A and B are shown apart, each in its own frame.
Chain A
Amino acid sequence: MWNKEIETMSRKDMQALQLRRLQATVKRVYNKVPFYRKKLDEAGITPDSIKTLEDIKKIPFTVKDDLRDNYPFGLFAVPMKNIVRIHASSGTTGKPTTVGYTAADLDMWSECVARLATMAGATADDTAQIAFGYGLFTGAFGLHYGLEKIGATVIPMSSGNTEKQIMIMQDYKSTILVSTPSYALYMAEVMEDLGVKKSDICLKVGLFGAEGSTEEMRAELEKRWGIIATENYGMSELIGPGVSGECIHKTGMHINEDFFIPEIINSETGEVLPEGEFGELVITTVSKEGIPLLRYRTKDITCLMYEPCPCGRTSVRMHKIQGRTDDMLIIRGVNVFPTQVESVLLGIEHISPHYQLVVTKNGYIDELKVVVELEDSSLLDSFSRLESLEKHIRHKLHVVLGIDAKVQLAEPKTIERSVGKAKRVIDLRGEKQK
């Protein structure tokens, strides 16, 4: 364990620490950030209103639009001279949500990542290849400094140039791969195409993040690479990667609770849900100086688990992300998450793990098309077997999604591969109305 005192702290001590830090944070933003002063005043809350951890429920939520409305630096709680780093969301639409770090924030961030890297099995003996894009995106820098902190040898590869990634991985004997799960899968495909076997490389552990994935995807990554695939979680608004991560037992992601207070809410009513129920994750940062956020709605759907983990850590764990409230497609009135489709497709033979969902409107009817690549040729001579594969996929999708989807078999390697976060959904329903 990287920080045994904190990671095995009793619930009572942790709650006392969280309360102290929460009170200090509310006080700080109330005094330093006009946006929060106004928001808290409107809700009739002053820093003195926070007497117990339960009182966090009185605080209004912060949402992504609040960051956009105060673009770029409106929510910063310290003068710019104290900000030593800027990052921004990888969002593709509109202005990026922008965050700033003080020197203390960067230390805290490294501490968070050091803990999750250690719990995934990383040590000073490891060589970590970072295949996240370096830049405004928080992924690469977060893992970079955290892995350096534990003494690992860091290779700042950045994303892309996949053949070179494989070469470096062999030559430098990388033992840890840091990337998105979808890029790791693509790298495995390139490795196989190059005729490099998993026995030719030294990889042991994957630290995957920046996008959600399913257990089926994990199984595929572990099989293709011969590694332990762990997942970690974070977002730039909160710090970047480092909010939580899996230990080698893979029983959910341990949250760095001394820095982040998690809650799960019903995303429609805002009501806080009890332990074990799935809903939207809400996080309050209680140590961050640059841009502290109160009850930030992450839009990620998960649940919290407090039962003990075999690793001995006492921290609360969050379940693998089940989807995002804004990823959710509503098709003919039915909620569909891309992760549901992924778990179906990865269980089916003859097709590759890459897929794309295309949603269109035919008159007033939504239509979902799932494009999958036909990977192996054994069905090829028989038309009826190809058709039955199509029917089989369609049937499985129907069972899981509850709606009928069209299945399109595509030629191999025709679905776009991503070196960062995969683009799984193409929603064309708005197109015709423009």
Chain B
Amino acid sequence: MLIKQISIFIENKSGRLADITKLLGENGVNILALSIADTTDFGILRLIVSNPDAAEQLVKDYGLTAKATEVIGISIPHVPGGLASALAVLNEHNIGIEYMYAFVTRSADNAMVILKVGDNYEAIKVLAQAGVKILSKDDLASL
């Protein structure tokens, strides 16, 4: 049920994001979700893509430092309090969130959230028990 995320180290230089997204685009890699964490000097670009293995190889061959990480994707109702109720489940079980980012899809009923937590399997278990929908690779592929 885990989803592969690609993290890429980039320097804060103008044009870097454009270069990397162009590289992915030209090679048929579709970006489903992304987030950037940055300082004044560098940033980490985190990507959920249509074909993560190919994307990882692509950026590494391009000479970038990149790493694949397993994260959890969940689908939550796109209504006020939707995210809060999912996060409350994790909180009750003392599962800390390292980072997260959300995205909406064409279907407006649900929003998708990518979560990085300390213990993926425990988090999936408690979320599923609480009725939160966990996204699979196939779910993402059909987006």
Of B39, B63, B67, B98, the residue contacting A411 (CB under 8 A) is B63
Residue B123 lies at the interface, judged by CB distance under 8 Å to chain A = no
A225→B44 CA distance, assembly (Å): 33
| B66, chain A: closest CB distance, angstroms | 6
Of B11, B39, B116, the residue contacting A381 (CB under 8 A) is B116
A382-B98, A408-B41 are contacts. A413–B63 as well, Cβ < 8 Å? yes
A409→B39 CA distance, assembly (Å): 11
Residue of A nearest to B16 (CB): A411
In the bound complex, residues from chain A placing their C-beta under 8 Å from that of B37 are 383
Residue B134 lies at the interface, judged by CB distance under 8 Å to chain A = no
In the bound complex, residues from chain A placing their C-beta under 8 Å from that of B69 are 381
Q: Are B7 and A412 in contact (CB under 8 A)?
A: no
Of A380, A382, A383, A408, the residue contacting B65 (CB under 8 A) is A380
A414→B65 CA distance, assembly (Å): 12
In the bound complex, residues from chain B placing their C-beta under 8 Å from that of A377 are 7, 9, 65-67
Q: Per DSSP, are chain B's interface residues mostly helix, strand or loop, or mixed? A: strand
Binary per-residue interface labels of chain A (411-433) against chain B in the complex, 1 for a CB within 8 Å, 0 otherwise: 11110000000000000000000
A387→B39 CA distance, assembly (Å): 9
A374→B44 CA distance, assembly (Å): 12
Binary per-residue interface labels of chain B (58-87) against chain A in the complex, 1 for a CB within 8 Å, 0 otherwise: 000001111101000000000000000000
| B45, chain A: closest CB distance, angstroms | 10
What count of chain A residues pass the 8 Å CB interface test?
18
Residue B42 lies at the interface, judged by CB distance under 8 Å to chain A = yes
Residue A24 lies at the interface, judged by CB distance under 8 Å to chain B = no
A347→B65 CA distance, assembly (Å): 21
Q: Are A383 and B44 in contact (CB under 8 A)?
A: yes
Q: Kindly identify, within residues 8 to 41 of chain B, every residue whose CB is under 8 Å from any CB belonging to chain A.
A: 8-11, 37, 39, 41
| Best-buried of B42, B65, B67 by chain A (most CB within 10 Å) | B65
A209→B7 CA distance, assembly (Å): 40
Q: Are B66 and A380 in contact (CB under 8 A)?
A: yes
A380→B67 CA distance, assembly (Å): 6
What count of chain B residues pass the 8 Å CB interface test?
19
Residue of A nearest to B99 (CB): A383
Residue A376 lies at the interface, judged by CB distance under 8 Å to chain B = yes
In the bound complex, residues from chain A placing their C-beta under 8 Å from that of B63 are 411-413
A377-B9, A381-B7, A386-B42 are contacts. A411–B116 as well, Cβ < 8 Å? no
| A373, chain B: closest CB distance, angstroms | 9
Binary per-residue interface labels of chain A (349-388) against chain B in the complex, 1 for a CB within 8 Å, 0 otherwise: 0000000000000000000000000111110111100110
A159→B35 CA distance, assembly (Å): 44
In the bound complex, residues from chain A placing their C-beta under 8 Å from that of B99 are 383
A307→B99 CA distance, assembly (Å): 61
Residue of A nearest to B38 (CB): A383
| B128, chain A: closest CB distance, angstroms | 24
Residue of A nearest to B69 (CB): A381
| B17, chain A: closest CB distance, angstroms | 13
In the bound complex, residues from chain B placing their C-beta under 8 Å from that of A196 are none
Residue of A nearest to B41 (CB): A408
A377→B45 CA distance, assembly (Å): 13
Residue A103 lies at the interface, judged by CB distance under 8 Å to chain B = no
A380-B7, A380-B44, A386-B42 are contacts. A412–B64 as well, Cβ < 8 Å? yes
In the bound complex, residues from chain B placing their C-beta under 8 Å from that of A387 are 39
- 10 pairs of residues in contact across A and B, judged by CB atoms under 8 Å: A374-B65, A383-B37, A386-B9, A387-B39, A408-B41, A409-B9, A410-B42, A411-B10, A412-B65, A413-B63
